[in-house]
Structure 1
Amino acid sequence: MPDMLVRLYDLPDPTLYYLRAEEAGASVHRAQPWNHSAVRKFVEEHFSSRWADEAELAFVRQPISMFIAMTGQEIIGFAAYEVTTRDYFGPTGVREDWRGRGIGASLLFRCLAALWEMGYAYAIIGGVGEALQFYEKLCGAFSIPGSEQGIYKPR
C-alpha cells in the first residue's frame, strides 16, 4: 500500500462533489466536540478500532481536524487529517451503502482545503491500498516511490 502525494496548489474545483453529496442527502461539515463518541462508535463499527484510535486524535485539535457526513442525525462518513502525523490525510471512510454518491470526494476535498489553509503546498495520503485510482482521478495524487510500508512498518 503506497502513500500518495497531492499538490494542494493544483486541486480541481470540488463544487460538483459537494453538490452530489448534498443531492444524495448528506450534510458534510467539520466535526464538533459533541460528535466525538458517535464518530468513534461509527468508525469502530464500520471500519476498525485501529482507525477509531487514529481518528479520535482529531478531537484534541483546534479546530477539530475532521469532517463528517451525516444524513439527519446519523453519521455516514468521516475524514480526518493531521492525526496520524503532520500533513497526512486519513483515516477516512464512507458507510458501504452510501458509497458512489460523492460523499467520500466531498470529505476528501474539505480536508485537503483545510491542509492548504494551514499553509501546506502538498498533502500525503497514507497507505491508500485499493483506493489508489480514486485518489489519482479525483485530486491528481500520485504514488510516492518506496513508500509501500510507510510510517506503519514495524520498527
Structure 2
Amino acid sequence: MDLLVNLYSRKMDELATRAADVEATIRVALPPEQHIIKDWVRTHFSEYWVSEVSAAMAHQPPGCLIATVNGQLVGFACYDATARGFFGPTGVSEEQRGKGIGLALFSSTLAAMKAHGYAYAVIGSAGPVDFYVKAAGALPIPSDKEDIYQGLLRITPKTEDQP
C-alpha cells in the first residue's frame, strides 16, 4: 500500500519534536561514503535497496540520509530514489531498533524533502503502515493494487534442474 504524507501538516512539528532526543547523528550522506553505505545496505537489507541508494546518491545534494552512533553506520533513509517525491527505502540495524533512530531518519528525510520544495511525500509500498500513520498522519492512497513497482523484475532462485 502506498501512503501520502502532507509535509505542511502540524504532525511534522510533532514528529520533529519526538525525534529530537535520539542518540544518533542524522545527516546527509557524502558521495565518498557511498560504497560503505551500499555495502551496509546489501548486508542488512537487499540488493534492490542498494539500487535505490545508488539512485538517491546520484542527486546533488544526495537524497540519502544516514544515522551513525559512535561513528558507525546504523541506519539510512532515501528519497527521490524510485520516483520523485518518494520516501524510502529506509532501515535501521536490528541491534539499534526501538531507539527512535527510524523515527529520526523519517523526520529528517521529510524535512529535507520539504526544503527541496515538496508539499507531499509518497511512501511507496509502505512496510509498517501503522508507524507512518501514527508518526506523520500518513494516509493510504487508493489503488487497485497497482503501483510503481508493478512488473518489477525479480531474481528467481535457480533450481537444481536449471543451468
Same fold by TM (over 0.5)?
yes
Cα offsets for 1:54-87 (capped at 9, x unmatched): 1111221111111100112311100000111000
Partner of 2:82: 84
User: Greater relative contact order: 1 or 2 (C-alpha under 8 angstroms, separation 6 or more)?
Assistant: 1
5 Å matches for 1:1-155?
2-10=1-9, 11-13=12-14, 14-19=16-21, 21-22=22-23, 26-129=24-127, 131-146=128-143, 148-154=145-151
CA distance in 1, matches of 2:92, 2:19: 14
2:20 is paired with a residue of what secondary structure?
helix
Tell me which structure has the larger Cα radius of gyration.
2
Structure 1 stretches (4+) deviating beyond 6 angstroms? none
CA distance in 2, matches of 1:148, 1:121: 25
Q: Which amino acid aligns with 1:37?
A: H
When normalised by structure 1's length, the TM-score is 0.91
CA distance in 1, matches of 2:38, 2:71: 15
In the alignment, structure 1 segments of 5+ residues that lack a partner are none
Tell me: CA distance 1:16–1:58, structure 2 relative to 1, closer, same or farther (3 Å). same
CA distance in 1, matches of 2:90, 2:46: 11
The percentage of counterpart residues that share the same residue type is: 40
In the alignment, structure 2 segments of 5+ residues that lack a partner are 153-163
CA distance in 2, matches of 1:72, 1:143: 37
CA distance in 2, matches of 1:148, 1:51: 21
Q: Which amino acid aligns with 1:80?
A: C
More helix, by proportion: 1
CA distance in 1, matches of 2:92, 2:59: 22
CA distance in 1, matches of 2:144, 2:66: 28
Cα offsets for 1:35-67 (capped at 9, x unmatched): 101100111000001111111112211111111
1:69 is paired with a residue of what secondary structure?
strand
Aligned-pair distance for 1:30? Answer: 0.8
CA distance in 2, matches of 1:107, 1:94: 9
CA distance in 2, matches of 1:147, 1:47: 28
